[in-house]
Amino acid sequence: MNMLIKLLPITFAIGLAACNGGDPKTGGTAEGSTDTAKNAGCEGLTADQVCVLIGSGAPKTGGIAHLGKDIENGTQLAINEINAKNDLTIDGKKVKLGMVGEDDAGDPRQGTIAAQKIVDTGAVGVIGHLNSGVSIPANAIYARAGMVQISPASTNPDYTLKGNKTPKGAVSSYRVVATDAQQGPALAHYMLENGAKSVAVLDDATQYGKGLADQVAQTLTESGANVSTREATTDKTTDFKAVLTKIKATNPQFIFWGGMDDTGATLAKQMRELGITAVLVGADGACTDKFIELSGAAGKGVICSQAGMPLSQMAKGSEFSANYEKAFSGQKVQIYSPFSYDATYVLVEAMKLANSTDREAIAAAMPKVQYNGLIGPIAFDEKGDIKNGSISLYKVGDKLDVIKVVK
């Protein structure tokens, strides 16, 4: 708490500079080329342009930094495209967009500090965060500021079910991915359809991992399967051998992992070292190219899911990949950049509908958004969840091979 208090005077001052006197509590425009606007990509403003800042919150350090960078890249790519068209006009003013990115390190405490920094810059909305355990506490900060948060990755149902309202009563928490209330059962049913009688369920004790594992375990139990072991580790665990030895004694057909790709890869390797032949099943946090790279041969045959349509099945997926690789040399799409890309366009669409850069006006316009994006048609229910979200199931080989899409 003391650290946050010390940061406020600094970030508040930056917010005022960025908005040229605008109130960071309401959002606004950055008229002129201030240091913050320059750093956000709003350099070179013409006389008739104003800068509007969009926040990006994601882990840019730690074991899942590659996923956070993917989110930030998707947001930046959308901003670059919109700025290149030079036709965004809000309330009679030509707008150039800028991005202010903050590192939440995938940690709830650092996430709230990052959220407050984004609020204080005067950003009109935020694309983020990745982890449900960060998105949920961060939402309280965004909501108090009257600000919309659109997550491209957080799947825990509580993010929207228990989401906060803005001071004027608008929904603040939105997402453009399906929830674990869909993802968990889809994975459980896959295991059941493939002969699961006994399944060990393991999670990393985060809000995301535990919530997802609970959904899987509940569906399995209700369907008559035996959850042979229900264990928890942490999102920093590097030695799974004790818990795996316990699991091995129950001889399950499947082991479900509720966690991320870096720890999931270690889990897969140690399963094979102990001679465990059960099939490892994971969800979107572990369903990445990075998992394939980190797990090597031990990852072959793992089943995983993503909370959305596969990029390969998106109408303009190949075009997006090409544009992404051109914009970010040496980087490839991970999972979430198509979703952060569309979330950015959705926020701008709400801005257009409101004809305003005021945060509360944007929040009030969000339920009206009907946007046909890269990931498909986007509209939201009364909670802020995307309507008609899909779950994609994959088998890990040399790449992620789609085996089923559940809508």
pLDDT digits (tens, 9 = 90+) for 212-266: 999 999 999 999 999 999 999 999 999 999 999 999 999 999 999 999 999 999 9
Tokens of 358: 């005021």
Indicate if the alpha-carbon torsion angle 101, 102, 106, 112 is positive or negative: negative
Distance in angstroms (rounded) separating the CA atoms of residues 182 and 137 = 23
**What does pTM read for this prediction?**
0.90
3-class state of residue 394 by DSSP = strand
Q: Quick check: 33 pLDDT over 70? A: no
Q: Quick check: 22 pLDDT over 50? A: no
- Give 336-366 pLDDT, tens digit per residue: 999 999 999 999 999 999 999 999 999 999 9
- Interior/surface letters 286-319, b for 16+ CB within 10 angstroms, e for the rest: bbbbbbbebbeebbeebbbbbbbbbbeebeebee
pLDDT band at 42 (very low <50, low <70, confident <90, very high): confident
Instruction: Residue 404: count other Cβ atoms within 10 Å of its Cβ.
Output: 15
3-class state of residue 256 by DSSP = strand
DSSP E strands: which ranges in 141-297?
148-151, 173-175, 198-203, 226-232, 254-258, 279-282
Q: Is the peptide bond before 129 cis (omega within 30 degrees of 0)?
A: yes
Which H or E run contains 391? strand 391-396
| pLDDT at 37 (0 to 100) | 55
Instruction: List, in sequence order, every residue forming a beta bridge with 95; answer none if it has no partner.
Output: 50
Burial of 4 (0-12, 13-18, 19+ CB in 10 A): middle
Task: Single out the residue of 147, 91, 89, 88 nearest to residue 121, CA to CA.
Answer: 147
* Average pLDDT of every residue of the chain: 92
- Give 155-198 pLDDT, tens digit per residue: 999 999 999 999 999 999 999 999 999 999 999 999 999 999 99
| pLDDT at 386 (0 to 100) | 98
What integer is the mean pLDDT of 83-93?
96
Burial of 377 (0-12, 13-18, 19+ CB in 10 A): exposed
Distance in angstroms (rounded) separating the CA atoms of residues 403 and 399 = 12
What integer is the mean pLDDT of 365-386?
98
Query: What domains are there in the chain, each with its CATH number?
Result: 2-177+316-378 (3.40.50.2300), 180-306 (3.40.50.2300)
3-class state of residue 62 by DSSP = coil
| pLDDT at 34 (0 to 100) | 46
